Amino acid sequence: MKVIKSTSQINYKKGKLDAHLLLALYKNMLKPRLIEEKMLILLRQGKISKWFSGIGQEAIAVGVTMAMEEDEYILPMHRNLGVFTTRGIPLYRLFAQWQGKASGFTKGRDRSFHFGTQQYKIVGMISHLGPQLGVADGIALASKLKNKNQVTAVFTGEGATSEGDFHEALNVASVWQLPVLFCVENNGYGLSTPTNEQYNCKDIADRGLGYGMESHIIDGNNIVEVYTKMCEINASVRQNPRPVLIEFKTFRMRGHEEASGTKYVPQELMDTWAAKDPILNFQAFLKEQKILSETEEVKIKETIVHEINEHLDVAFNEEAIIPDETNELNDVYKPFDYQVDNENSELKEIRFIDAISDSLKQNMERHEDLVIMGQDIAEYGGAFKITEGFINLFGKDRVRNTPICESAIVETAMGLSIAGIKSIVEMQFADFVSSGFNPIVNYLAKSFYRWQQEADVVIRMPCGGGVAAGPFHSQTNEAWFTKTPGLKVVYPAFPYDAKGLLNTAINDPNPILFFEHKGLYRSIRQEVPVDYYTLPFGKASVIKTGQDVTIISYGGAIHWALETLSNNPEISADLIDLRTLQPLDTQTIYDSVKKTGRAIMLQEDSLFGGIASDISAGIMENCFEYLDAPVKRVASIETPIPFAKQLEDQYLPKNRFEAELKALLAF
């Protein structure tokens, strides 16, 4: 292939690229550059709030995007304006997004490039950077399961390659041979930290070897090299699905964001990379090849500038968003039309664990593309044997053992949802969810509110004490999630509720934390319909009725309350099993308290910050005039849960509840 040297500092291997395509590459790079130059003016005028510049990196975004099919997903970063413009998003919508207008993509709820759009197959990043890599895994997994022969491209910077999400995502993609292009824009600095203070290897591409993954290094300022190499890689990956790690060597010519400046960058380095400007060099090459004339250059720029100004006028003239609390609250969750599905069938006495297993099995049959993921859930059947035998019924594509990487697997579930596939993630123990906390509370919980993308994910959470398993296998950590808008939290106490509520959870398109007290797995039995049925969220169960006191509880603690009432038949109590903590059935609680005049809450979680505190506050605000005694909370003591039985017994509130209840009745 002939190398054509122009007056630029970049050598372009034109190959078989015709003049029309070369001009398209140029125009697509020029457009985001001219938009950025305008945005920097508007930033100084206070007409936009922040700007993350991609000046100097346009060739990467444009080259990668043009090498992909329009129905293939791209997950860009905040320096990849060229992805959005090359995909043909109307500029007024981008401008409205940056100004917080309604015709943007997030209804004023997020700024910059923190949005996605199914129409253009773009999934925007969140500020935590790393989680989008695992999301790309999920989208690619869906493509592979559906035999679509598509690639998914995800961008990150060299700084984010130090995050655990990067390593987890690459490992999962390699183990599962997912068609993901991991595009690392190595621009020399993570904010102000140079690469020699970020990692201790010559090239990030070298890391591919450690994951058994093909890798490439590409000159990120050479648009022809980016485009041609990406076309070649894409064609190969579509034919032979696998992940590829691609390091683009480039530089950003402005600060991390405009306020931070570039004083930490040596001037000599700035000058060196300025001479390698991807647009000026390519422009010189095109002129030397007689593909672009001065007149054509002016005309192209005038056309783009006119489009920018025209669309800016549309965005500026759009009315500011008028806050509407109802609209805001209604967009936290995707609307879910609960359908009662209670088929008449025979009853069978089963254990709590069997109810969970039956639900999963029936849902795998009803939703033919539903995927279950978790550690040791396939051949081994899971730590508690709940999915034992599933692999023989549904196969390894749908019952997937995962590496030990909770964060990447939650992100993969999000990616599956974006691609239209439901999934269930089993945390081997609820305690381990802390390793996947960020994508749950910052990605799954917020996606629908931000850009109307549902996170159709159920996360199963085996939890709870009373089994002498110590601080890392016994927590009941539901309060970590009830605080986060966008998540639903379910916590059944009986086999009948467990099966019906899990069925509903899988139908619901919102992210759901489904807590299963492992102490109940094999200790509680109940007659349960053999066939499929559902139960509604936000509807508590009144297990016992009485006149003297309202007892509110959930999970394993319900059975402690039942035992206490059984040992004290003289106590006349309403016993309310909440069943779901988010949404919470406050109406049943308040109606009962207004009747009895006394309320006591029993939770297994430690006291401070638990759900009992919020319920207590709600009762005080809504039922104060009906109360005959202070509202009482009973919970575990303020320590981590210990291992030794005598210490665990002291920690849990079971043995203290009776005395507290009687003291409240005597008040």
CA 31 – CA 53 distance, rounded (Å): 14
* Residues 511 and 481: beta-carbon distance below 8 Å: no
CA 264 – CA 257 distance, rounded (Å): 13
Tokens linked to 41: 């003016």
SS3 190: strand
Tokens linked to 95: 């401008």
C-alpha distances out from residue 643 to 487, 648, 651, Å = 31, 6, 10
* Residues 65 and 87: beta-carbon distance below 8 Å: yes
CA 407 – CA 459 distance, rounded (Å): 12
Q: Characterize 290-299 residue by residue with b for buried, 16 or more Cβ atoms within 10 angstroms of its Cβ, and e for exposed.
A: ebbeeeeeee
Give the closest residue to 543 by CA, choosing from 564, 558, 527, 525: 558
Residue 27 backbone phi and psi in degrees, to 5: -60, -40
384: amino acid identity, one letter: F
Three-state secondary structure string covering 346-386: CEEEEEHHHHHHHHHHHHHHHCCCCEEEECCCCCCCCCCCC
Helix, strand, coil percentages for the chain (3-state, nearest 5): 45, 15, 40
* Residues 174 and 180: beta-carbon distance below 8 Å: no
Among the listed residues 78, 167, 473, 517, the single catalytic one is: 473
Per DSSP, the residues of 489-546 read EE---SHHHHHHHHHHHHHSSS-EEEEEETTTTTT-EEEEESS-B---TT--EEEE--
Rg (CA), the chain: 29
Q: Which residues contact 91 (CB under 8 A, 6 or more apart)?
A: 35, 85, 307, 308, 311, 312
Three-state secondary structure string covering 275-290: CCCHHHHHHHHHHHCC
Distance of CA 361 to the CA centre of its chain: 25
Please state, as a whole number, how many other Cβ atoms lie within 10 Å of the Cβ of residue 339: 9
Per DSSP, the residues of 266-321 read -HHHHHHHHTT-HHHHHHHHHHHTTSS-HHHHHHHHHHHHHHHHHHHHHHHHSPPP
* Residues 152 and 73: beta-carbon distance below 8 Å: yes
* Residues 139 and 118: beta-carbon distance below 8 Å: no
CA 360 – CA 341 distance, rounded (Å): 16
Any idea which residue has 């759901």 for tokens? 512
Beta strands 423-426 and 457-463: pairing type? parallel
CA 250 – CA 252 distance, rounded (Å): 7
Query: Catalytic residue at 216?
Result: no
Q: Which residues are part of the catalytic machinery?
A: 473
